[in-house]
Amino acid sequence: MIPRGDFLRAPAGVEPCDGQAGDCSRCGRIFSERFPLLERRVNGRPLVYLDSAATTQKPGAVIAAEARYYREHNANVHRGMHTLGVEATDLYEECRSRVGRFLGVPADRVVVTRGATSALNLVAGGLGPSLKPGDEIIVTEMEHHANLVPWIEVARREGLVLRHLPVTAGGELDLERLPQLLTARTRVVALTHVSNVLGTINPVAEVAAAARRRGALVVVDAAQSVGHLPFTFDELGADYLVFSAHKAYGPMGLGFLVGGAEALERLQPVEFGGEMIETVTMDSATWAAIPQRFEAGTPNVGAAAAFPAALDTIDEATLQRLRQHEISLTAYALERLERMGGLTIFGPREAERRGGLVSFHDPMVHPHDMAQLLDSLGIAVRAGHHCAQPLHRRLGVVATSRASFGMYNSHDDIDALVDGIGYARSVFGA
């Protein structure tokens, strides 16, 4: 088990940034010139993109790789005997291996899906038939609907009991409650690695160790952490991990389930059809081996052909440096927003305990109006419940505004945000 926060420490030789604007050369934008969309103007202003937690922008190399696939290699996978079919299959399988190398697992433990949501549906739906009425599932109060609603549905179908691990006032998991919640009937513990609202980095390894002592399977939603925090699958100690390529500088329509070998064996397929079978008669079918067993139908080969270019970009920058950069931006955003006064800022106070995002609430300006007025200045933030309604209920607000960061952001973007919030307040006479 790794101690809490261990993988957050700056690697040797990297000076932690002090978060001061202007005098922080180490935390200048990383590779921003490689992201063509960032040259855009929005509402007559240069775009300030602060919505990377919803989806990151894509490096030109990713866009080019997807275009190249359709120009040069397009064919269906695992079917064609012809040259294009072989090339497409190679590109698709190379993506699987590349993701495996990125997270430290062999390729045959990487299932390609449409995204984190469909991967979570596969885990929940795939485990369902092996669970019995009265079995218990623990989810946390800070889950994205993608890691909550599939469990609600499976619980309803199979007669399972859903238990909730609460969030403290400080925006962290209330781990003191975990021992009472873990019982002899707990079968699954599902939690997010990084909260998409609070930013909190959860001590997944600690939770996983406790869950495993009880014989429960651990499902980690890594949608906000892959490509942003340095870690390997084994370090988390989980049985299943899911993420979407599009939040890690890759294309949309592509995601992954990474699992332990035994954990994957336990899953029943949830989609049936071509590609996932071994032998089919008119009345029966046997399943293909893992991972193909979980990949019915034609996948998003173009996106798979492009995603390795995103991982290459991340590796070139190094995850350590990207992490340091997000800590620096988050620390600066927390400090500047705090100093504005009157804003409620959610989640832990220390940037080291958070992913690269900050959600806030201004009692004078509703998040929609905030996002609209910021947009008029070319600043893109997300407003709403961020697909986490139970968490917002817990926080006592219907909606929040969220600024989230990618490698291409800098302190200047946060300065623009702070000025923009001031402008929004002035419109409402605050």
Ligand X SMILES: Cc1ncc(COP(=O)(O)O)c(C=O)c1O
Binds 385: which of another protein, ligand X, none (CB < 5-8 Å by kind): another protein
Binds 347: which of ligand X, another protein, none (CB < 5-8 Å by kind): none
Residue with tokens 């960061």: 405
User: Which has the closest alpha carbon to 121: 148, 139, 88?
Assistant: 148
CB of 40 to another protein, least distance (A): 15
Please say which residue, 40 or 157, places its beta carbon nearer to another protein: 40
Positions in the binding site for another protein (CB under 8 A): 43-44, 365-369, 372-373, 376-377, 383-385, 389, 392, 398-399, 427-429
How far apart, in Å, are the Cα atoms of 170 and each of 198, 344, 345, 346, 412?
9, 12, 10, 8, 28
Q: Is 224 in the site for ligand X (CB under 6 A)?
A: yes
DSSP 93-123: HHHHHHHHHHHT--GGGEEEESSHHHHHHHH
Displacement of CA 350 from its chain's centroid (Å): 20
Cis amide bond preceding 308, omega within 30: no
What is the rounded CA–CA span in Å between residue 285 and residue 271?
13
Binds 314: which of another protein, ligand X, none (CB < 5-8 Å by kind): none
Please say which residue, 222 or 301, places its beta carbon nearer to ligand X: 222
CB of 423 to another protein, least distance (A): 8
Residues 176-195, interacting with ligand X (CB under 6 A): 192
Q: At 79, give phi and psi (nearest 5°).
A: -135, -50
Contact stretch for ligand X (CB under 6 A) within 159-167, 221-229, 287-295, 408-416? 221-229
Q: At what angle do helices 411-427 and 319-340 cross, to 10 degrees?
A: 30
Burial class of residue 253 (count of CB atoms within 10 Å of its CB; 0-12, 13-18, 19+): middle
What is the rounded CA–CA span in Å between residue 190 and residue 207?
10
What is the rounded CA–CA span in Å between residue 381 and residue 390?
21
Q: At 330, give phi and psi (nearest 5°).
A: -65, -45
Binds 146: which of ligand X, another protein, none (CB < 5-8 Å by kind): ligand X
Please say which residue, 406 or 420, places its beta carbon nearer to ligand X: 406
Please say which residue, 246 or 385, places its beta carbon nearer to ligand X: 246
What is the rounded CA–CA span in Å between residue 183 and residue 346?
31
Number of residues that bind ligand X (CB under 6 A): 14
27 annotated active-site = no
CB of 303 to ligand X, least distance (A): 12
Please say which residue, 141 or 221, places its beta carbon nearer to ligand X: 221
Residue with tokens 């997000």: 326
What is the rounded CA–CA span in Å between residue 131 and residue 197?
31
Binding-residue pattern over the window 101 to 120 for ligand X, x denoting contact by CB under 6 A: --------------xxx---
CB of 429 to ligand X, least distance (A): 34
Q: Is 244 in the site for ligand X (CB under 6 A)?
A: yes
What is the rounded CA–CA span in Å between residue 310 and residue 251?
9
Contact (Cβ atoms closer than 8 angstroms) between residue 19 and residue 353? no
User: DSSP label at 172?
Assistant: S
User: Both tokens of residue 137?
Assistant: 């599932």
CB of 425 to another protein, least distance (A): 12
Binds 221: which of ligand X, another protein, none (CB < 5-8 Å by kind): ligand X
As a residue count, the chain comes to 430
Please say which residue, 196 or 401, places its beta carbon nearer to ligand X: 196
Binds 295: which of ligand X, another protein, none (CB < 5-8 Å by kind): none
CB of 52 to ligand X, least distance (A): 11
What is the rounded CA–CA span in Å between residue 116 and residue 257?
8
Contact stretch for ligand X (CB under 6 A) within 148-156, 206-214, 220-228, 259-267? 220-228
Q: Is 223 in the site for ligand X (CB under 6 A)?
A: yes
What is the rounded CA–CA span in Å between residue 120 and residue 241?
9
Contact (Cβ atoms closer than 8 angstroms) between residue 412 and residue 331? no
CB of 420 to another protein, least distance (A): 11
Amino acid code (one letter) for 332: Y
Please say which residue, 242 or 264, places its beta carbon nearer to ligand X: 242
Binds 144: which of another protein, ligand X, none (CB < 5-8 Å by kind): ligand X
Binding-residue pattern over the window 127 to 166 for ligand X, x denoting contact by CB under 6 A: -----------------x-xx-------------------
Q: Is 333 in the site for ligand X (CB under 6 A)?
A: no
CB of 144 to ligand X, least distance (A): 4
- The residues assigned a catalytic role are 387
Contact positions toward ligand X, by CB under 6 A?
115-117, 144, 146-147, 192, 196, 221, 223-224, 244, 246, 387
